Amino acid sequence: MLDNTPNLQDEAARQFQICNSCRYCEGYCDVFPQLFALPEMTEASATHLANLCHNCRGCYYACQYSPPHEFDLNLPAVLAELRQDTWERHARPQALARVFHSHGVAVVAAMTAGFAFVFFLMATLRPESGDGFYAYLSHNAMVAIFAPAFVVPLAGLAYSLRSYWREIGGGRITWANLRHMSGSVARMKNLSGGAGQGCNFEQGTRYSNARRYAHQATLWGFVMCFAATSVATLLHYGLGWEAPYPFWSPPKLLGVPGGILLCLGTGALTWLKLRADPELGAARVWGGEMAFVLLLFTVSATGLALYAATGTTAMPALLALHLGAVFAFFVLTPYTKMVHGFYRTAALLARR
Amino acid sequence: MGATMLQYDVVVVGGGNAALCAAIEAAEAGARVIVLESAPEHMRGGNSRHTRNFRCMHHGPLSVLTDTYGEDEYYDDLLRVTKGQTDPTLARLTIRQSEACLPWMEQHGVIFQGSLSGTLSLDRTNAFFLGGGKALVNAYYACAEDLDVTIRYNAEVLHVDLSDGRFHGVTLADGEQIEGRAVVLASGGFQADLDWLARAWGPGAENFLIRGTPYNRGVVLRDVLDQGAQSVGDPTQCHCVAIDGRAPKFDGGIVTRLDCVPYALVVNRDGARFYDEGEDVWPKRYAIWGRLVAAQPDQIAYAITDQKAQGLFMPPVFTPIKADTLGGLAQALGLSGDALEKTVARYNAACQNGNFTPGVLDGLATNGLEPPKTNWARTLDTPPYYGYMLRPGVTFTYLGLKVSERAQVQGTHGPLPNVWAAGEVMAGSILGQGYLAGFGMTIGTVFGRIAGQEAASHAG
């Protein structure tokens, strides 16, 4: 895809020029006011605007110049391609990003490898004693495996983000930018259609908030699951309170509803994605995106199943599946759709 | 030919704003409605798909509109552009009803946004559609579908049966006949029929560009006029502005506008100037330049600027032709280098010292030049030079059907009992000359709603 970068930039510039002469879409999202305020279009500006776009598709369905009009405007698609290019270009190593972004099969293979890896560990490192999960894999073994699987990809992602921030000239982060960003993310303002009517994702010209709500269920579900793990770590090391935790404990009170939200959110996103027109996104990564959503779904579904299976014979197998999925998710973070959240947050934080 | 005859309460001919307002009103009144849109689905909506706002009377802030815009002020604004060529009763009716239309539009799915950047002067008078006219059209189609209105695309009406002075049915291009108790004609003007334009305007009309839909060919208008319906409006005139000469033949819409003329020299095919480029600010002059260019040989003109003018006007959608010398620019534009250099030299010699102030009439005028440039007359001498091709771009035609206050079409012997008209096809009654931003959508909405209500009540 890197070979296509100049063409992609030219095509984005061509479409932006038409948008700039029309301006009818100004109220949909953050992209248009920022586009119209630019003194001139540069590659860095185009990259920034691409990462600001949430693919709500309002501008496409409202556009009098969308195909088959000879102006052939499809801003959601060209910006999706440009975003994809940004994520792959700034990733290290780039080859991994190219593989996992575009190939759902690769994501599924990584997940399967994750399962096998954990099964293998459980078979070879099974402790002599331990409660609950730790009867199958000791706490220390889990930390030894998951701490680097979490920290190393995150460090890689931080490197990529810094490189992106320099490219777009993000500038110093101000309180105003922080407020703007957190308000936008918390309410997913850029999927609101500008007036709360939502976006044009799964039912063409009609607006709907389904994707906005599904996305927020996924986002908040993920945050709660992550918080559950973080709280458990604090309890373990700070208070010496070790797993398994009862239902009325902070890790479970965050993790169970979080897992349910994540399951529902990713399930709904999959359903919506099957109904949306792939030509209004980065069509070549459809499979990779879908597999990533399913990976998240697997993480949450196996987590819930594992809790439900406490004390049954299904527990060890479910533990391996859950840990394997989590492992694959962590390791793939810099190379999958997961990066969109970080880049988009950066775009919302950048100098306006 | 044995085709099935379908019977509807209300047949709506057309698929733009006025047609949809009529269809929605009629369906809400309980009528069985069919909408016959001649365009395919992706091109639906006629010229409405290129519009961007709705001019609305209001007392106090209303939706996105600020302050107050009263009936008399609105009417005065209209008179100023039409130079009195308006039906006062119909015009005042339209203006008065616009206030109730805005909430009705919102209830039926239209979403408004604050006035667009660069159009702040309109935030009191014009409510802008979020996403523009096509988003409005999409909202109305969704609303009509929800009301079980039958919608047919690629359904070009060739004939409206008005035998015995009343409506019976329509015949489509494929021969299918559709019967109805009442009809609403909302099929737009005839500006996309270049032969008709050429008959009205002269052979030069073949070189005109049509800013809107290619589907407004006036077939229904012609057919109904031929059957004795009364007309209004000058049959030879159209609203015609100067747009970028590289715009598509049809459907270029808003982005093909060119705002550089006040800061340019404009020459014709022979390299000669023909009108004062600096007569007034561009929003007050863009409409006359369509006619001016139309009167030049080959209906073409070229606006020439130098480096100093860059950034003074809205960026055009087509990149201008650029050259380091006037001769080079002339060559790239297909003009005579000698002629252009002479015209520029004469102009430069006539420029005077003074303060150049863009955006306001600065009085910086040429001295002893014919025609003069009366504002923003700075020398043209700083390369690179830029050339912009200008062509006449037709927005709409003025000839239309004469209607009553109830939107009823007038026949030779009085009103046709079950025939109504709305939108561009009847706008000539109100807008006999010129144009007032956002007023076409107001006429379409007000009369579309009236026509739909009347037709449904007749059919019921």
Please tell me whether residues A32 and A147 are part of one structural domain: no
* Residues A165, A166, A172: CA angle, nearest 5 degrees: 70
Please tell me whether residues B333 and B404 are part of one structural domain: no
Chain B partners within 8 Å of A193 (Cβ): 111, 130
Please indicate, yes or no, if residue B93 is contained in any of the structural domains: yes
A58/B134 CB distance under 8 A = no
**High-pLDDT (> 90) share of chain B, %:** 88
CA dist B336 and B328 (Å) reads 10
Cβ–Cβ contact A205 with B under 8 A:
yes
Please tell me whether residues B74 and B216 are part of one structural domain: yes
B172 Cα to chain A: minimum distance (Å): 25
When CB atoms are compared, the residue of B134, B141, B315 closest to A64 is B134
Q: What is the mean pLDDT of residues B367-371?
A: 96
Mean model confidence pLDDT for chain B? 95
B117/A36 CB distance under 8 A = yes
Cβ–Cβ contact B295 with A under 8 A:
no
CA distances from B39 to B44, B134, B153 (A): 5, 14, 6
When CB atoms are compared, the residue of B42, B49, B255 closest to A22 is B255
Which of B393, B421, B448 is the endpoint of a domain? B393
Cβ–Cβ contact A61 with B under 8 A:
yes
Query: Does pTM surpass 0.90?
Result: yes
B253/A65 CB distance under 8 A = yes
Please tell me whether residues A100 and A76 are part of one structural domain: no
User: Domain holding B316: CATH number?
Assistant: 3.90.700.10
Please indicate, yes or no, if residue B155 is contained in any of the structural domains: yes
Please indicate, yes or no, if residue A180 is contained in any of the structural domains: no
Helix (H, G, I), strand (E, B) or coil at B45: coil
B191 Cα to chain A: minimum distance (Å): 19
Q: Provide the pLDDT confidence category of residue B403 given band limits of 50, 70 and 90.
A: very high
Please tell me whether residues B156 and B262 are part of one structural domain: no
A224 Cα to chain B: minimum distance (Å): 35
Burial tier of B297 (Cβ tally within 10 Å: 0-12, 13-18, 19+): exposed
Please tell me whether residues A61 and A203 are part of one structural domain: no
Please tell me whether residues A203 and A69 are part of one structural domain: no
Please tell me whether residues A115 and A201 are part of one structural domain: yes
A88 Cα to chain B: minimum distance (Å): 31
Instruction: Identify residue B197 by its one-letter amino acid code.
Output: L
B134/A197 CB distance under 8 A = no
Cis-peptide, bond into residue B372, ω within 30° of zero: no
A21/B315 CB distance under 8 A = yes
A64/B314 CB distance under 8 A = no
Cβ atoms A22, A96 nearer than 8 A: no
User: Which residues contact residue A312 at a Cβ distance below 8 angstroms, ignoring those fewer than 6 apart?
Assistant: none
Please tell me whether residues A274 and A343 are part of one structural domain: yes
Domain that holds residue B384: 241-393
Cβ–Cβ contact B158 with A under 8 A:
no
A45 Cα to chain B: minimum distance (Å): 17
What are the pLDDT digits (tens) for B153-172? 999 999 999 999 999 999 99
Q: Provide the pLDDT confidence category of residue B333 given band limits of 50, 70 and 90.
A: very high
Please tell me whether residues B306 and B409 are part of one structural domain: no
A67 Cα to chain B: minimum distance (Å): 8
Question: Which residue in B243, B262, B383 sits closest to B318, CA to CA?
Answer: B243
Which of B337, B358, B393 is the endpoint of a domain? B393
Please indicate, yes or no, if residue B1 is contained in any of the structural domains: no
Question: Which residue in B453, B450, B437, B445 sits closest to B137, CA to CA?
Answer: B445
CA dist B46 and B36 (Å) reads 12
When CB atoms are compared, the residue of B42, B131, B248 closest to A25 is B131
Cβ–Cβ contact B363 with A under 8 A:
no
Please indicate, yes or no, if residue B55 is contained in any of the structural domains: yes
Please indicate, yes or no, if residue A313 is contained in any of the structural domains: yes
CA distances from B252 to B245, B292, B394 (A): 11, 20, 11
Domain that holds residue A24: 2-88
Task: Measure the N-to-C terminal CA separation of chain A; round to a whole number of Å.
Answer: 29
Which of A73, A88, A103 is the endpoint of a domain? A88
Spans of chain A below 50 pLDDT:
1-4
Which run of H or of E encompasses A299? helix A286-308
What are the pLDDT digits (tens) for B215-231? 999 999 999 999 999 99
When CB atoms are compared, the residue of A18, A205, A206 closest to B317 is A18
Tokens 């604090």: give the residue. A234
Please tell me whether residues A331 and A246 are part of one structural domain: yes
Please tell me whether residues A233 and A335 are part of one structural domain: yes
What are the pLDDT digits (tens) for B82-92? 999 999 999 99
Question: Which residue in A207, A168, A134, A172 sits closest to A52, CA to CA?
Answer: A168
Please tell me whether residues A214 and A114 are part of one structural domain: yes
B49/A64 CB distance under 8 A = yes
* Predicted pLDDT at B5: 58
CA dist B421 and B404 (Å) reads 9
Please indicate, yes or no, if residue B408 is contained in any of the structural domains: yes
A23/B116 CB distance under 8 A = yes
Cβ–Cβ contact B129 with A under 8 A:
yes
Nearest chain A alpha carbon to B53: A24
Which of A56, A88, A120 is the endpoint of a domain? A88
What are the pLDDT digits (tens) for B123-146? 999 999 999 999 999 999 999 999
CA distances from B64 to A190, B61, B74, B118, B442 (A): 20, 7, 18, 16, 16
- Mutation target for B interface from A21, A36, A57: give the one with most B CBs within 10 A: A21
CA dist A218 and A213 (Å) reads 9
Backbone angles phi, psi at B269, to 5 degrees: -55, -30
Which of A66, A88, A110 is the endpoint of a domain? A88
* Predicted pLDDT at A5: 53
Domain count, chain B: 2
* Predicted pLDDT at A3: 46
B133/A64 CB distance under 8 A = yes
Please indicate, yes or no, if residue A115 is contained in any of the structural domains: yes
Please tell me whether residues B208 and B323 are part of one structural domain: no
Please indicate, yes or no, if residue B136 is contained in any of the structural domains: yes
Cis-peptide, bond into residue A93, ω within 30° of zero: yes
What are the pLDDT digits (tens) for B93-103? 999 999 999 99
CA dist B398 and B189 (Å) reads 8
Q: What is the mean pLDDT of residues B419-423?
A: 98
* Predicted pLDDT at B286: 83
Cβ atoms A236, A142 nearer than 8 A: no
A210 Cα to chain B: minimum distance (Å): 18
Please indicate, yes or no, if residue A188 is contained in any of the structural domains: no
Interface subset of B 36-65, CB within 8 angstroms of A: 42, 49-50, 52
Cβ–Cβ contact A25 with B under 8 A:
yes
What ipTM was reported for this prediction?
A: 0.93
Please indicate, yes or no, if residue A321 is contained in any of the structural domains: yes
Please tell me whether residues B284 and B263 are part of one structural domain: yes
Please tell me whether residues B218 and B319 are part of one structural domain: no
Nearest chain B alpha carbon to A13: B317
